[in-house]
Amino acid sequence: MYKEMIRGAIEYNYGVAEKLISRVDPSMLDWKPASGSNWMSTRQLLMHITNACGSSIKGFVTGDWGMPEGMDMSAMAPEDMLPPAEKLPAVESVDEATRLLAEDKAVAIEMLESVSEEQLATQIAKAPWDPMDFPLGIRMLQMVDHLKQHKGQLFYYLKLQGQPVDTGDLWGM
């Protein structure tokens, strides 16, 4: 049950994200909303989208959060775990974002295939940023939701940049 549901959510959301990324004008990579503060640039948002799901699913499955040797995420200060936008990494190009998204999707699927239905339903997966206990399957779906949230953010970035996108683009229609 979990595997089929998670696999479907992965396929769908990565597919829509890929289509939205293909709509990014390379000349707009440094664009970010003019009002408010702490906005990612388009290139930073693209980088965030490309590691919003698979890499975290890998962390839940393997315990490897991609941190340098000896670094403990639970000992990090909140501002180090979630730095301000200007400190976030960025892609160099739309092509790089497309490649990284495909790699992240492959990791998500590999990790999903490496666990059983029983593990998805019963294995408690702790998040370094959340003290609540959830089964691994729920955590995986939360990471797909993370991708979905930033996919929606990219949709609005594209609209604000004047790109001809509509609700159908947001939902992959």
> Does residue 109 have a pLDDT over 70?
yes
DSSP string, 97-113: HHHHHHHHHHHHHHHHH
Q: Is residue 118 part of a domain?
A: yes
Q: Is residue 78 part of a domain?
A: no
Express as a percent the part of the chain with pLDDT over 90: 78
In this structure, the number of other CB atoms found within 10 A of the CB of residue 105 comes to 21
Cα 6 to Cα 9, 20, 66, 108, 114, distances in angstroms: 5, 21, 22, 10, 13
Q: Which two tokens stand for residue 74?
A: 């639970």
Task: Please tell me the predicted confidence (pLDDT) of residue 141.
Answer: 97
The number of folded domains in the chain is 1
Beta-ladder partners of 130: 127
Give the domain extent around 99: 2-66+83-170
What is the per-residue pLDDT across 124-167, written as a single tens digit (0 to 9) for each? 999 988 889 999 999 999 999 999 999 999 999 999 999 999 99
Q: Is residue 29 part of a domain?
A: yes
14 within 8 A of 105, measured Cβ to Cβ: yes
How many whole angstroms separate alpha carbon 41 and alpha carbon 28? 9
Q: Is residue 94 part of a domain?
A: yes
The pTM assigned to this predicted structure is 0.91
Q: Is residue 52 part of a domain?
A: yes
What value does the mean pLDDT take over residues 65-94? 73
How many whole angstroms separate alpha carbon 131 and alpha carbon 77? 15
Task: Please tell me the predicted confidence (pLDDT) of residue 25.
Answer: 97
How many whole angstroms separate alpha carbon 167 and alpha carbon 64? 37
Q: Which two tokens stand for residue 125?
A: 């997966």
Burial 25-38 (b: 16+ CB within 10 A, else e): eeebbebbeeeeee
Place of tokens 């290139």: 43
> Does residue 72 have a pLDDT over 80?
no
What is the per-residue pLDDT across 2-13, written as a single tens digit (0 to 9) for each? 899 999 999 999
Q: What is the CATH number of the domain that holds 123?
A: 1.20.120.450
Q: Is residue 77 part of a domain?
A: no
How many whole angstroms separate alpha carbon 62 and alpha carbon 121? 16
In this structure, the number of other CB atoms found within 10 A of the CB of residue 24 comes to 24
Q: Is residue 20 part of a domain?
A: yes
